[in-house]
Chain A
């Protein structure tokens, strides 16, 4: 397992519903990232199709594996690189049950997927209208260490990141499609999730204007003590590289030993409280 490696935060805008164009853009970013020595390239939530496709999602959703994951697997193999991207995943057992999914691919092919657990359905968001929620936090063994996947609004619920950490994730990848008025929340919560879990956190947000929503970008790599190691521009496409060095987690974890101090018995209380809310 690699103890140190470079991560590329590929903050792209997407063309509505145009998978070929978006994959082409991903390919360009992979090439650029590879040239700069990155071993993992992360794209935003639903980066295969754009965020606000609405009813068109039924035509755009694909099973995993499927045509698009095959295309991305091919790219990962060609470039010898790991990729995380987002797509609408059609359940294999149904015709129109869709998940908002993050996919992790390595140079040897598909590694794993995570289905978004918290689907925002308030304000400008309509995700429960289109997606079924996921039921499991996920962290996957890779050559780059164990990687946990979360998606956007999941970050408001510390238990999702915490679960990936308890499963062994050292790097939590959060892919996102956050419009501009939410920036303060994410800038706070990304740092908080890294600190409270003493883990690296890579946040990659969409940019561009879709249906009157301006996605704010601001992607960042944060280390286990909450320091921002790399930060992309606001509002514009960008590709920035940051370095993950797992050895640094030791000092963070000894300085504020949040994992040592976890109190499992409180989780039962939390469950009861949530049920009675």
Chain B
């Protein structure tokens, strides 16, 4: 197997059709009235929003813009609105700063210097807004996590990853960008560097220490059972970097599963219950 960028090429028309059918089918079977999703103005959420609108019609998709003071960026808001306009989504903007402050002020051990813990409150607060709208309006929450961040656990547990469906979760970040381009996500969004925006100036590639172009090929190699030596050698990078990514992938499994329990009875959630997720 040759780890070159072209190995990540897919039949994008087929991928678009498949994801569209998946979203439509789920909405139909669940009996939901539509979709609610968070719109950050970034690549993933713009793509998830566009695909949702293309699948079920923009009038059935509600995009929530949930900015907060610390990471507020007028460009992001503009981009989110641009996508909404282009794909005919309904939107609502709610400033969550007050809600966040309530958490900061009431958590006795809160430390503002701990950027990660604080940032995770933001992602989890957005989840609460999304699920409130979902409950209230009989909608399903559509997540926008991609395969790159899901594999390395680069997300907030029970935060941005929380959703009923995640149509992009089997596409690496660079693949999402190609699909986005195909379906007409505005080019200023395609060109943006990825950021979870948990704190001001946070940039994914800086934090991870690797470009997505390389990360995705490393992850593709791991997905296909390649050894870390082989991946490093083929990509002309240090084995230690590949090992680091691999261990991050493995150690983050707890973020991708139901909570672990101790088996004491006949059939157990997460162990040996095997039930179809789809409703009858």
Cβ contact within 8 Å between A56 and B17: no
Chain A residue contacts of B21, Cβ below 8 A: 209, 214, 235
Cβ contact within 8 Å between B25 and A55: no
Cβ contact within 8 Å between A54 and B274: yes
Cβ contact within 8 Å between B273 and A55: yes
Chain A residue contacts of B273, Cβ below 8 A: 55
Cβ contact within 8 Å between B280 and A16: yes
Residue of B nearest to A210 (CB): B278
Interface status of A111 (Cβ within 8 A of chain B): no
Chain A residue contacts of B22, Cβ below 8 A: 209, 212, 214
Interface status of B18 (Cβ within 8 A of chain A): yes
Cβ contact within 8 Å between A53 and B18: no
Cβ contact within 8 Å between A55 and B280: no
Contact with A along B251-280 (1 / 0, CB 8 A): 000000000000000000000011111101
A235-B17, A235-B21 known; A211 vs B280 contact (CB < 8 Å)? no
Residue of A nearest to B272 (CB): A55
Cβ contact within 8 Å between B276 and A18: no
Cβ contact within 8 Å between B280 and A52: no
Give chain A nearest CB distance to B218 CB in angstroms. 21
Chain B residue contacts of A18, Cβ below 8 A: 280
- Which of B18, B25, B275 touches A56 (beta carbons < 8 Å)? B275
8 Å CB contacts to B: which residues of A207-265? 208-212, 214, 235
Chain B residue contacts of A148, Cβ below 8 A: none
Chain A residue contacts of B26, Cβ below 8 A: 209
Cβ contact within 8 Å between A211 and B274: no
Give chain A nearest CB distance to B31 CB in angstroms. 14
A54-B274, A54-B275, A129-B274 known; A180 vs B280 contact (CB < 8 Å)? no
Residue in B17, B22, B278 whose Cβ sees the most chain A Cβ within 10 Å: B278
Query: How distant is the Cα of A180 from the Cα of B170 in the complex, in angstroms?
Result: 14
Interface status of A17 (Cβ within 8 A of chain B): yes
Partner-A contacts on B (CB < 8 A): 17-18, 21-22, 25-26, 273-278, 280
Partner-B contacts on A (CB < 8 A): 15-18, 52-56, 126, 129, 180, 208-212, 214, 235
Extra inter-chain contacts (5) besides given A55-B275, A211-B278, A235-B21, CB under 8 Å: A56-B276, A209-B26, A211-B276, A235-B17, A235-B18
Write 20 A-B pairs (CB below 8 A) sorted by A numbering. A15-B280, A16-B276, A16-B278, A17-B280, A18-B280, A52-B276, A52-B278, A54-B275, A55-B274, A56-B275, A56-B276, A129-B274, A209-B25, A210-B276, A210-B278, A211-B277, A212-B22, A214-B22, A235-B17, A235-B21
